[in-house]
Amino acid sequence: MYKKTLAGLTGIALTAVLATPAAADSWRDDQYWLEDYGFTSAWDTSQGEDVTVGIIDTGVDDSHPDLTGQLAGGYDASGTGDSDGTTSMGPDPDHGTMVASLLAGHGHGDPPDDEEDEDADDDSDDSDDEAQDDVAPIDQYGTDGILGAAPKVELLSVSVLLDDTAEGVPSVDEQIANGVNWLVDQDVDVINISLASSEQDWPETWDEAFLHAEEQDVVVVVAAGNRASGSDVVGAPATIPGVLTVAGLDEDGTASWDASTQGITIGVAAPADPLIGAVPGGDYTQWSGTSGAAPLVSGLAALIRAEHPKISAEQVIQRILATAEDSGHAGQGNLYGRGIIDADAALTADVDEVSENPMGSIADWISMHRRGEVDDTETQEQKHQAAGPVDYPSELPVAAKLAKQSTVLQAGVVIGFGIAVVLAFGTSIFFWRKRTRTRHGS
């Protein structure tokens, strides 16, 4: 049973494990996940065109060469930075830019020369266009820097200050709820939240925010958390019904111990250790954690929404889950969810239609678990108590003892019946002996 003593989530934390400087000549080469997990193949079908993804994090540096032109706007939920969500803030200010680069980085520099066109007429516009078309999607933006899972998406950044001790700043819970609501109101298609808590519960304000996302057909992708950061099992928001929770994998494709966690709400697994990310100021770093796995899946959701613009959020999630590869580890769904992502298959495979979200529904949860609340008898504190999964009994219930009065009554009936039997038996003996003496006397 998990703690449910807090009115809010004071333990919200980043889901990155470690960040260390990366060598300049290895940035692109170290992105093994692009090819191994089907992204480079998927780009022949979709690169996230005309799709908007919202990122709730520590701010995104839109001046980084791999992110220029990607940010269409933003919102500072903390009230402490630039209003467009571009101020890096908090205990790990690089985190938001790292997340954004794995989701939507487009690299930079010049595309590689096409050797076959070296002798072509430089004045021919047609040959120039043809040469550009022949460049592989992975190199269209140049061979330097980092490529995200969906390099043509549009980003909106919501910056949050992960510090509940800061004076005059809304609580982290409020910032996240406000951020979700703001992004939904901007008509985003996908929301990425690479933040986690050790608590399975969530504040009631999140009911309203995540319900708003569900009702407006928004795909919400969240990180599962990391053991190295102190999370043994998934915590909110990864426990909220309807979100797609992402676990982390090591480079060999097995569940990561440090850079992931476990839980029955995990939907799918994606690369988490090691990763490369962009950081503010134009630099790069090596890092790990489900903070990086989540934006890869958010990017995949964006690729799907670009290729299949008319399908629902539920069907987007279904395509990701239904095409996930079996981990090969039977009985470990709490580590891998439905399996390991396959980006190309998620875009191109024939997938059965669903009528409801395979990850559940926050609307259904609210309907079931808020029914007993009586608004006019609650205090303000009670109205903001955390909500969370129902604690089902782990032992069979013990039958209740009968009331004391009933016990006495039962005893009296039993004893009274015994006395009646004895009296009846004694009376029979008395009359039998009397008849016997009379018979002898006559």
pLDDT in tens, 345-372: 999 999 999 999 999 999 999 999 976 5
169 pLDDT tier (thresholds 50, 70, 90): very high
Domain extent for 432 = 400-442
Spatial CA neighbour of 246 closest among 190, 166, 309, 170: 190
Q: What letter represents residue 184's amino acid? A: V
Tokens of 6: 């807090």
Write down the pTM of the prediction: 0.78
Number of neighbours of residue 422 by Cβ within 10 angstroms: 10
pLDDT at 141: 77
Highest mean pLDDT among 129-138, 178-187, 321-330, 415-424: 178-187
Residue 383 has pLDDT above 70, yes or no: no
Q: Is residue 6 part of a domain?
A: no
Residue 69: give its domain's CATH number.
3.40.50.200
Q: Is residue 31 part of a domain?
A: yes
pLDDT at 14: 67
Of the residues 369, 392, 422, which one is the last residue of a structural domain?
369
What dihedral do alpha carbons 318, 323, 326, 332 form, nearest 10°?
-20
User: Is there a single domain that holds both residue 318 and residue 217?
Assistant: yes
User: Is there a single domain that holds both residue 317 and residue 275?
Assistant: yes
Q: Is residue 391 part of a domain?
A: no
pLDDT at 120: 46
Residue 21 has pLDDT above 80, yes or no: no
Q: Is residue 392 part of a domain?
A: no
User: Is there a single domain that holds both residue 347 and residue 412?
Assistant: no
145-149, 170-174, 396-400: least confident range: 396-400
pLDDT at 282: 95
User: Is there a single domain that holds both residue 244 and residue 179?
Assistant: yes
User: Is there a single domain that holds both residue 93 and residue 224?
Assistant: yes
Instruction: Give CA angle at 313 (102, 179), nearest 5°.
Output: 60
The total number of structural domains in the chain stands at 2
pLDDT at 15: 58
* Mean pLDDT, range 23-37, rounded to an integer: 82
Among positive and negative, which fits the CA dihedral 124, 129, 131, 132?
Answer: positive
Q: Are 103 and 299 in contact (CB under 8 A)?
A: yes
What dihedral do alpha carbons 110, 115, 121, 125 form, nearest 10°?
-50
pLDDT digits (tens, 9 = 90+) for 205-252: 999 999 999 999 999 999 999 999 888 899 999 999 999 999 999 999
User: Is there a single domain that holds both residue 345 and residue 202?
Assistant: yes
More confident residue, 409 or 303: 303
User: Is there a single domain that holds both residue 405 and residue 361?
Assistant: no
